[in-house]
Structure 1
Amino acid sequence: MSHELVIKNGLVILEDGEVHTNVAVDNGKITAIGKDLDGDKEIDAEGLVVSPGMVDAHVHITPMGGGYRDEWEGYVTGTAACAKGGVTSFMEMPLNQVPATVDGKTIDQKYAAGKDQLKVDVASFGGLVPYNLDGGIQELDDKGVSGYKCFLATCGDRAIDGDFQNVDDYSLYEGMRQIAKTGKVLAIHAENAAITDRLGEIAKAEGKKTLADYVDTRPVFTEVEAIRKAIFMAKQTGCRIHICHVACKEGVDEVIKARAEGVDVTCETCVHYLYFTKDELDAIGPVVKCSPPIREQAQKDALWERVQSGAISFVTSDHSPCTPDLKDTDNAFDAWGGIPGVQNDVDVMFDEAVQKRGMSLKDFAKEIASNPADRYHLDQKGRISIGKDADFVLIKPNASYTLEAGDLEYRNKISPYIGRTIGAQIAQTILRGETIYSQENGVIESFPGQFIKSVHEDSKESVHEN
């Protein structure tokens, strides 16, 4: 039997470990894995690692700027960066768009904005905000969101009608009650808003303006307090929760403790928390400002320990780009807080985790693909397994290159990784059997990506829709 496509001779990461084998694809699905496979089209992956395509569970795209953010990252450039970086699907956050994605009308607007604009597959978060407790959460569930997102930290611009807002305690409680009924997961940005806001105001009034000063206004306990609150509320409501971008070991340890107590809670960290440290931030500049902030070397080391132990379920980019003018300031407190990073998820993580720290390929694939797919029931994603979507990233190991601005597919070509030497390369990215990026030909010009719409949790299925 001849298959439509066979990837041959690669080191393939399967669920029980890596093996030199071939993978066959038909109609966008993986149909066979084994030695003696022939294809109408064949890709020679000799010397390459064949990994499941990354499922980045934390990405901000701004397809609708509302007249305020029209020059930010849209679907075309954002999904092109994903393709070039080995990210074959991602969970899209409900904010930075105007209007924010908080009900049926606004998610329909976003689906419309993405029509024929996607180079990779996209699943959606719906927002939990104080103003959508009267039906919005259920509408989002009906429209196929794969999860929900809320902020305990201050967010959004109150001068912009329809912008995102952080929750107060009642909104968090009531929103959790409603989301629990959907069976879906609430992802939470966990920082204490009142304390971090006031510490920032005081520091700025005192003339402090460095990134190190900014980090000091968001101390570890402000993360931990918010994580504890979220866990406590989950216990009261039965809501499944996920703590986003944990930047300290103490926060991860709260999740470990809660899981031991039976709470359905997971957490992630980001590639930049595993790569940068506080003492180098000011030399890099505001492009590396984010929230929670990048912390000290000891915290970075402790996060790596928890990634390697499996306590941190997966890594994400928290890709949160803006226009260059919002980073062009000598006062860290005035700069936009967000890091563009989705294009360097896989190569940086492979270099840092596998090549430098000896992580097994099986665990690498769990961290970037299968674990996030499982958490948000993206059932066709995350594994090289028969019946799954044929989503692959072909990685060239031990192949160093230095990232230049011109390499980036982002609309605004800024990144803290520019000038860094990365010890692995993305050779090819394949989405449902179609090559969407190769080093020889670049990013595909067409838009084969689809929205993934999740049906109700009791059936544990997801469907693709153009």
Structure 2
Amino acid sequence: MMAQLEWVVKGGDAVLPDGVKRLDIGIAGGLIVAIGEHLDTTHAQIIDAAGLTVMPGAIDVHVHLNEPALGHWEGFRTGTLALAAGGCTTFFDMPLNGRPPTVSVPALRLKQALAESASRIDYGLWGGLMPGYLDQIEPLAAAGVIGFKAFMSSPGSFEEGDFCEVDDLHLLRGMARIAPTGRLLALHAESEPIVSALAREMRQEGRVDARSYAMSRPVWAEREAVRRALLAAEMTGCPVHFVHISSAEAVMDIAEARRSGVDASIETCAHYLTLTVDDFVQLGAIAKCAPPLRDTSNLERMWELIADGTINLVSSDHSPCPPEMKAGDNYFDIWGGISGAQSTMELVLGEGCLKRGISLERAARILAEAPAQRFGISDRKGSIQVGLDADLALVDLNHAYTLKQEDLLDRHRQSPYVGRTFGCRVIRTLVRGQTVYEVSGIGRGDKQGGGLPIRPTPLFANRQPRRQDS
């Protein structure tokens, strides 16, 4: 017998795995319990979705909310409010830039406590692969981290004990330990020897402008690191996830390795799909990131690789900092990171679906379904199906608006998209059936908490290495 409906999202165009259909969605106990035409609403509260598109809530697998100790950079309360305003219902928080970084179980417990008290949407927490902490991999996996993150280039740490990059030996040994845990390894793939040498040359020549910074981190530095990581993944059998891939060439390198049997997924970010290096020069430090923005032809090729399914998912890589860290004329010294938590879904739908003809089903896949499947949470999240959490984003595809700074809900309200006209707008976001954001004002206040932790199903356990490390 179907549970008595508590809420009905009525009359919207629901983006289901098998197509877009005008249906009602019935919710009880935080779950989707019915999908159909003209559901009985006798005892239910109605959410009128007429004229709206109902997307599965986005799962942003790459967010930096900087807890503990650096909450003044962002923090769980403001960061998750911004995510909710962008139609995101679940996020995975990276192990940096908090102090201590999440490379041990005590550090994880500290972050868990902070997230539990402040996150208004559901969350997973990344563990870190860092020299000196390899023995923490198995305990962190047992404690519930969503996966592990490693840097192949410097993350720009400031103090002793901050998160730092791995060398090739620690990368290989870390992968060998991660492989049996049922987790995967996320990689920031840029070659540190290449980018540091080029940066040093630029500085010596006095070339510290935006374009010179971008030139110091070329596509071939990304590709070189990607190829090294793929070889290590092949040797150890460790599933890998390449974060914020910026170039079509690197995407194709990973796709070729997948065809040969390497278990690898590809993430890109909304800024690589909407901004170019010329925008970086024009906008300035607010658009600085690593890898840097690329040219227009690369941007269009990235959309093609989304359309054909080569790129698996899109994240925000929301990486905020205080405004003073974005000031100055030396682009090598300015903090690198784009604050985009609030805009990812609207950019994918507007730039991808409305402008380039990407299907809504493809958008739902890269924003929700594929992340849920890749990270072992598809038994609860990722699509609009009976039995899954009622995580929904109601979007008006006919509501164009120009983003203003006062529309932003992250702590410092910094975004390269301010002044940009979006082709659509998230109107309402539900997490497990509860409204956490509404454009009219609901969910914008001081309410904290409510989000629940997510533990992955160990989909990748018991992998055996294809070649032994000598």
User: What range is the shorter-chain TM-score in?
Assistant: over 0.9
Where in structure 2 are the equivalents of 1:81-160 lying within 5 Å?
81-133=82-134, 135-157=135-157, 159-160=158-159
Q: How many aligned residue pairs are there?
A: 455
- Residue by residue, what CA displacement relative to the aligned partner does 1:343-388 show, whole Å, maximum 9, x if unpaired? 0011111100110011111111001000011111123111000110
Find the counterpart in structure 2 of residue 386 from structure 1: 386
Find the counterpart in structure 1 of residue 468 from structure 2: none
5+ residue gaps, structure 1, are 461-466
Find the counterpart in structure 2 of residue 463 from structure 1: none
- Residue by residue, what CA displacement relative to the aligned partner does 1:216-267 show, whole Å, maximum 9, x if unpaired? 1111110001000010000100000011111111100011101110110111
Contact in 1 for aligned 2:68/2:100 (Cα 8 Å): yes
Query: Which deviates the most, 364-373 or 31-40?
Result: 31-40
3-state SS of the aligned residue for 1:346?
helix
Contact in 1 for aligned 2:247/2:294 (Cα 8 Å): yes
- Correspondence 1:52 to 2:56: yes
Where in structure 2 are the equivalents of 1:197-216 lying within 5 Å?
197-216=196-215
- Correspondence 1:76 to 2:89: no
CA distance in 2, matches of 1:411, 1:339: 13
TM-score (norm 2): 0.95
Where in structure 2 are the equivalents of 1:374-413 lying within 5 Å?
374-379=373-378, 380-413=380-413
CA distance in 1, matches of 2:17, 2:347: 22
Where in structure 2 are the equivalents of 1:19-58 lying within 5 Å?
19-39=21-41, 40-58=44-62
CA distance in 2, matches of 1:24, 1:280: 44
| Shift of residue 455, structure 1, vs aligned partner | 5.3
Q: Relative to 1, partners in 2 of residues 1:166 and 1:426: Cα closer, same or farther, differing over 3 Å?
A: same
Find the counterpart in structure 2 of residue 452 from structure 1: 454
Contact in 1 for aligned 2:67/2:97 (Cα 8 Å): no
More strand by share: 1
| Shift of residue 280, structure 1, vs aligned partner | 2.1
CA distance in 1, matches of 2:261, 2:457: 26
Where in structure 2 are the equivalents of 1:337-416 lying within 5 Å?
337-379=336-378, 380-416=380-416
Which residue type is aligned with residue 408 of structure 1?
Answer: L
1:4 to 6, 31, 34: 6
CA distance in 1, matches of 2:416, 2:352: 19
Contact in 2 for aligned 1:144/1:455 (Cα 8 Å): no
Q: Relative to 1, partners in 2 of residues 1:455 and 1:21: Cα closer, same or farther, differing over 3 Å?
A: closer
Contact in 2 for aligned 1:81/1:408 (Cα 8 Å): yes
Find the counterpart in structure 2 of residue 464 from structure 1: none
Which residue type is aligned with residue 26 of structure 1?
Answer: A
CA distance in 2, matches of 1:144, 1:396: 36
Find the counterpart in structure 1 of residue 259 from structure 2: 260
Q: Which runs of 4+ in 1 moved over 6 A?
A: none
5+ residue gaps, structure 2, are 463-470
3-state SS of the aligned residue for 1:178?
helix
Contact in 1 for aligned 2:320/2:339 (Cα 8 Å): yes
Find the counterpart in structure 1 of residue 466 from structure 2: none
Q: Relative to 1, partners in 2 of residues 1:181 and 1:459: Cα closer, same or farther, differing over 3 Å?
A: closer
Which residue type is aligned with residue 426 of structure 1?
Answer: V
Which residue type is aligned with residue 421 of structure 2?
Answer: T
Which residue type is aligned with residue 219 of structure 1?
Answer: P
CA distance in 2, matches of 1:246, 1:149: 14
Q: Relative to 1, partners in 2 of residues 1:397 and 1:70: Cα closer, same or farther, differing over 3 Å?
A: closer
CA distance in 1, matches of 2:230, 2:32: 38
CA distance in 1, matches of 2:297, 2:460: 42
Query: Which deviates the most, 448-457 or 177-186?
Result: 448-457
CA distance in 2, matches of 1:129, 1:63: 18
3-state SS of the aligned residue for 1:453?
coil
Contact in 2 for aligned 1:141/1:456 (Cα 8 Å): no
| Shift of residue 156, structure 1, vs aligned partner | 4.2
Q: Relative to 1, partners in 2 of residues 1:211 and 1:132: Cα closer, same or farther, differing over 3 Å?
A: same
Q: Relative to 1, partners in 2 of residues 1:165 and 1:352: Cα closer, same or farther, differing over 3 Å?
A: same
- Residue by residue, what CA displacement relative to the aligned partner does 1:72-112 show, whole Å, maximum 9, x if unpaired? 11000000101111110011111111100001111001011
3-state SS of the aligned residue for 1:171?
helix
3-state SS of the aligned residue for 1:442?
coil
Which residue type is aligned with residue 344 of structure 1?
Answer: S
Where in structure 2 are the equivalents of 1:226-241 lying within 5 Å?
226-241=225-240
Query: Which deviates the most, 276-285 or 171-180?
Result: 276-285
3-state SS of the aligned residue for 2:82?
helix
Q: Relative to 1, partners in 2 of residues 1:260 and 1:455: Cα closer, same or farther, differing over 3 Å?
A: closer
| Shift of residue 155, structure 1, vs aligned partner | 1.6
Contact in 2 for aligned 1:182/1:457 (Cα 8 Å): no
Which residue type is aligned with residue 51 of structure 1?
Answer: M
Contact in 1 for aligned 2:181/2:461 (Cα 8 Å): no
TM-score (norm 1): 0.95
CA distance in 1, matches of 2:360, 2:415: 27
Where in structure 2 are the equivalents of 1:161-310 lying within 5 Å?
161-310=160-309
| Shift of residue 71, structure 1, vs aligned partner | 1.6
